[in-house]
Structure 1
Amino acid sequence: MKKQELIHLHSLLAQVQHSYEADTGSEVEHDEYAELGVKPTSIHKSKTDHKDAVFALADGLTSDMAAESDEPLTLTAD
């Protein structure tokens, strides 16, 4: 995968994160991603840096989503 493609994927995952956080009202825990200090707009960072960031962000998102799916479903009356 080319660096430009990784940056695009990184941007898409960041959008998924923001959408997920808006839908659930909670923040995704991703300390590893935050420690890397690589954002989708960090175009000066290396291809490897973006690859590591993509994996860390994807791992944080899937872990959070898996934990949420393990919670029991509660129904509320409107």
Structure 2
Amino acid sequence: MKKQELIHLHGLLAQVQNHYEAESGTEVDHDEYEELGVKPTSIHKSKTDHKAAVFAIADGIASEMADEAKEPVSAAAD
């Protein structure tokens, strides 16, 4: 994946996080993401930095959503 594509994905994931937080009323744990100090607008940062940020923000969103999904989904059809 090219650096420009990673930056674009990074920006999209940041929007997903903001939307999820606004809709659910909970805050996604983004300590690891914040420690990196890489924002989607940090175009001067390296491709590797953006890749790490994408993985950190995606992991934070996925973890929060997994915690929310406590009820098992029925395997039977309606």
Give me the TM-score of the superposition, normalised by structure 2.
0.88
Matched, 1:64 2:48: no
CA–CA separation in structure 1 for the residues paired with 2:37 and 2:70: 30
Following TM superposition, by how much is the alpha carbon of 1:4 offset from its aligned partner in structure 2, in angstroms?
Answer: 0.2
2:70 & 2:35 partners in 1: Cα distance? 27
Task: List alignment gaps of at least 5 residues for structure 1.
Answer: 72-78
1:49 paired with 2:61, answer: no
Q: State the number of aligned residues.
A: 72
Q: Look up the match of 2:15.
A: 15
Tell me the distance in 2 between the aligned counterparts of 1:42 and 1:31: 18
Partner Cα distance (1:32, 1:3) in 2: 21
- Note the residue ranges of structure 2 that are not aligned, 5 or more in a row: 72-78
Q: TM-score, normalised by structure 1?
A: 0.88
User: What do you get for the CA RMSD once the two structures are aligned?
Assistant: 1.3
What are the equivalent positions in structure 2 for 1:15-34 lying under 5 Å apart?
15-34=15-34
Equivalent residue, structure 1, for 2:6: 6
Identity %: 77
- Describe the SS at the equivalent of 2:26: coil
CA shift digits 1:13-58 (9 cap, x unpaired): 0000000000001110021101000000000000000000000000
Q: Distance in 2 between matches of 1:31 and 1:69?
A: 22
> Structure 1 stretches (4+) deviating beyond 6 angstroms?
none
The alignment partner of 2:40 has SS state of coil
